[in-house]
Structure 1
Amino acid sequence: MLVKFNSSTSGQMMMFAPAARQLLEILHKDCTARGVITTEQLPEAIERLRTAVVGGRRSVPEALPTPSTAPENNKGSDGDHPEDGPPIGLAQRAFPLIELLEWTQKEDGFILWEAAKDF
């Protein structure tokens, strides 16, 4: 399921529900079908995401496979398709949303999110 984040001033972005859930939980928001990050909440939301990204960077080297634990044949879990590389980290998921929040904050806007159902 996709979650759309719409800025009142700066456009929109979409992401899959698990990634959106992770980011919204950092912001202490309920993962409902519709929600809002108000103008007043934007500074705190930006700070929370930045703090989480910094904390996530410290743990990234431990999350990456080492040569002794990496699969020898580089096949995916189904054995047919090779994996694309290391998993996508929190920073890669959060930066687009942080940018959208910052652009929206500059123009005193707000962010609405929308999904097909609660996630």
Structure 2
Amino acid sequence: MLVKFTSSTSGQIMMFAPVARQLLDIVGKECTARGVITTEQLPEAIERLRLAAAAASSTPSPATEDATASEDSASEAESARVGLGQRAYPLIEILEWTRTEDGFVLWEAASDF
């Protein structure tokens, strides 16, 4: 399922529900079919997402389960992995743009997720 985030001032983005759920949980929002991040909530939401992204990038990744894999293939797999910071970046950006113009961000999905 897709979740669409729409800014009142700067456009929209879409993401898959599991990623949206993870980011909305960080922000402290319930994953209902529709919701809003108000103008007053934007600074705290941005700060929480930035802190979570920074913490995720500083956390060492789990060891490769295949003990026989070479270091080259392990580093290739790690570089192909998309981290929380990369997933959060589009939402952080739309929240930042919306904050500069005193707007709000709505999200919408087909159902609760």
Q: Same fold (TM over 0.5)?
A: yes
CA distance in 2, matches of 1:47, 1:67: 37
CA distance in 2, matches of 1:92, 1:69: 29
Residue pairs, 1:1-119, within 5 angstroms: 1-59=1-59, 61-63=60-62, 65=64, 68=67, 70=69, 86-119=80-113
SS of aligned partner of 2:61: helix
Amino acid at match of 1:15: M
CA distance in 1, matches of 2:69, 2:15: 28
SS of aligned partner of 2:31: coil
Unmatched 5+ stretches in structure 1: 75-82
Conservation of the 8 A alpha-carbon contact between 1:10 and 1:100 = yes
1:49-106 CA-partner distances (Å, limit 9, x unpaired): 00001110111x42474884648xx7xxxxxxxx8x6321100100110000000000
CA distance in 2, matches of 1:86, 1:63: 15
CA distance in 2, matches of 1:31, 1:9: 22
Tell me: CA distance 1:56–1:69, structure 2 relative to 1, closer, same or farther (3 Å): farther
Amino acid at match of 1:100: I
Conservation of the 8 A alpha-carbon contact between 1:10 and 1:103 = yes
Q: When the two structures are superposed, what TM-score results if normalisation uses the length of structure 2?
A: 0.86
Q: CA RMSD in A?
A: 2.5
Which residue number in structure 2 is paired with residue 77 of structure 1? Answer: none
Query: What displacement does 1:8 show?
Result: 0.1
Conservation of the 8 A alpha-carbon contact between 1:64 and 1:86 = no
Unmatched 5+ stretches in structure 2: none
